[in-house]
Amino acid sequence: MPWWEVTTDPIDPAVLQRRVAMPGNGAVSLFLGTVRNVNEGRGVRAVEYEAYGEMASEELGRIVAEAAALAGTDRVAAVHRVGRLGVGEASVAIAVSSPHRADAFAGARHVIEEIKRRLPIWKREHYVDGRSEWLSGTEPTTAAARAPEAPL
Partner 1 sequence: MSLRRGPPGRLKVTVLLFASYRELVGVESLAVSLPQSTTVGTLLAELRRRGGGWARLPTAPAVAVNRSYSRDTTELADGDEVALIPPVAGG
Rule CB under 8 A: which residues touch partner 1? 33, 49-52, 54-56, 58-59, 80, 91-92, 112, 115-124, 134-140, 142-145, 149, 152
Q: Are strands 42-51 and 38-39 parallel, antiparallel or unpaired?
A: antiparallel
- Alpha-carbon gap, residue 19 to 35, rounded angstroms: 24
Contact 82, 92 (CB under 8 A): no
Q: Which is nearer to partner 1, 17 or 34 (CB)?
A: 34
CB of 93 to partner 1, least distance (A): 11
- Least distance from C-beta 23 to partner 1, angstroms? 31
In angstroms, what is the minimal distance from the CB of 33 to partner 1?
Answer: 5
CB 24 to partner 1: min, Å: 30
Nearer to partner 1, 52 or 127 (CB): 52
Burial class (CB in 10 A: 0-12, 13-18, 19+), 148: exposed
Element (H, E) at 44: strand 42-51
Q: Are strands 38-39 and 132-134 parallel, antiparallel or unpaired?
A: unpaired
In the bound state with partner 1, the residue whose beta carbon lies nearer, of 75 and 123, is: 123
